[in-house]
């Protein structure tokens, strides 16, 4: 039997993990270390991998830096709600156009003690109406579902994105900006990932 007939044993061409696809996204090699130093080196490598991930994600996160927690009880506000279309200006409150009165707190907030606001910092979600400086309303006990806009934490950094899933079932965070500046964020088992709440609304001041 010649070498060409030997299909068993040995390393097959193309077998094994492809270069650049592991935890550290680069080629690796075997190195002997003292057993006592394995935990130290392992912790160092994990910190190094986390730093690499954050550097790669930095331009896609739109970091959230401002959190505002609501009080458990909200004051009721009653304002006129004009249902008719207004071509220019505002109708007088005395007009017949006032069909109802609305409480903005009740409109935006379902559970005051479970709701907080965050300020949008970047432009990755502008195509769903979340602009820089907007206040996003976050409901923290709402169960997130695929397609929801969520506030997520990745390796200690916060971002607002649309929740999706990868083919293997792991989460994926999608931007809403077709400029190509922001890429989807693929969550892996090596990342610290947590969803802090679901975005249920937003508001801005002109």
Closest listed residue to residue 116, CA positions, set 130, 133, 136? 136
161 catalytic per annotation: yes
Q: Cβ(197)–Cβ(139) under 8 Å?
A: yes
Q: Of the listed 124, 135, 142, 202, which one is catalytic? A: 124
202 catalytic per annotation: no
Q: Report the alpha-carbon distance of residue 136 to residue 65 in Å, rounded.
A: 12
Q: Report the alpha-carbon distance of residue 171 to residue 187 in Å, rounded.
A: 6
Provide the CA 62 distance to its chain's centre, in angstroms: 9
Phi and psi for 165 in degrees, rounded to 5? -130, 145
Q: Cβ(74)–Cβ(112) under 8 Å?
A: yes
- Buried b / exposed e across 146-178, counting CB within 10 Å, b at 16+? eebbbbbebeebbbbbbbeeeeeeebbbbbbbe
Q: Of the listed 135, 142, 161, 202, which one is catalytic? A: 161
Name 87's Cβ contacts closer than 8 Å, sequence gap at least 6: none
Work out whether the CA dihedral 9, 14, 19, 20 comes out positive or negative: negative
Positions marked catalytic: 124, 161
């Amino acid at each position: 039997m010649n070498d060409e007939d030997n299909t068993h044993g040995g390393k097959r061409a193309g077998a094994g993990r492809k270069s650049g696809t592991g935890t550290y996204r680069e080629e690796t090699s075997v190195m002997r270390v003292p057993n006592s130093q394995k935990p130290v080196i392992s912790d160092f490598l994990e910190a190094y991998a986390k730093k690499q991930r954050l550097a790669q994600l930095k331009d896609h996160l739109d970091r959230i830096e401002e959190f505002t927690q609501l009080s458990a009880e909200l004051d009721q506000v009653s304002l006129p709600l004009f249902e008719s279309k207004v071509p220019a200006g505002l109708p007088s409150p005395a007009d017949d156009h006032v069909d109802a009165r609305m409480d903005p707190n009740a409109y935006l907030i379902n559970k005051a003690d479970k709701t907080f606001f965050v300020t949008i910092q970047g432009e990755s979600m502008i195509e769903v109406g979340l602009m820089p400086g907007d206040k996003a309303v976050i409901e923290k006990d709402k169960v997130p579902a695929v397609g929801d806009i969520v506030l997520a934490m990745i390796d200690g950094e916060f971002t607002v994105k649309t929740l999706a899933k990868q083919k293997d079932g792991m989460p994926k965070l999608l931007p809403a900006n077709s400029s190509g500046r922001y890429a989807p964020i693929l969550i892996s088992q090596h990342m610290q990932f947590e969803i802090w709440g679901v975005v249920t609304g937003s508001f801005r001041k002109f």
